[in-house]
């Protein structure tokens, strides 16, 4: 029998809603970057989409994994789960880059890396804007 996912508390729901907003903005940025890159060439456009997918899929997986941790765990177990999901996120990202560069012959590396780095920067900027506590440091 499958366990039901733990019900999120107030802070967990707020964090998950914040992640959903950030994810939506990053998906929109990925599509916009791909459309702008298509003006240059089709190869640059789908390379930008691949760079966005390499960033978004592991990031979404790690957030989902943290969301489904049982509520009864102590703080040490939650931190351990966060570290494990970050290690898996880095592994999935590395495998994603390796698969793209090995399996797809026509690529624009600049589009892949610029989209990947751009999504990192967009996520950082949005997190700073959504969470006002970081601005008081």
Per-domain residue ranges of the chain: 10-132
Instruction: Tell me the pLDDT tens digit for each residue of 2-24.
Output: 555 556 666 667 777 888 888 99
What is the mean pLDDT of the segment spanning 30-52?
A: 94
Q: Are the C-beta atoms of 41 and 108 separated by less than 8 Å? A: yes
Give the pLDDT band (50/70/90) at residue 127: confident
pTM greater than 0.85: no
Place of tokens 């499958």: 2
For the record, the structure tokens of 9 come out as 């508390």
Instruction: Determine the Cα angle at 85 with ends 68 and 76, to 5°.
Output: 75
CA 53/CA 49 separation, integer angstroms? 6
Give residue 77's pLDDT.
79
């Amino acid at each position: 029998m499958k366990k039901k996912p733990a019900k999120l508390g107030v802070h967990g729901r707020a964090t998950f809603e914040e992640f959903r907003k950030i994810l939506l903005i990053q998906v929109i940025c990925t599509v916009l970057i791909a459309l702008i890159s298509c003006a240059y060439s089709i190869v640059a456009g789908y390379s930008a989409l691949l760079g966005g997918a390499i960033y978004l899929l592991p990031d979404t997986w790690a957030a989902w994994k943290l969301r489904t941790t049982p509520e009864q765990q102590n703080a040490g177990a939650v931190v351990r789960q966060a570290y494990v999901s970050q290690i898996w996120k880095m592994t999935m990202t590395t495998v994603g880059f390796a698969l793209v560069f090995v399996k797809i012959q026509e690529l624009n590396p600049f589009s892949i890396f610029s989209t990947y780095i751009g999504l990192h920067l967009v996520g950082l900027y949005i997190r700073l804007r959504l969470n006002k506590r970081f601005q008081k440091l």
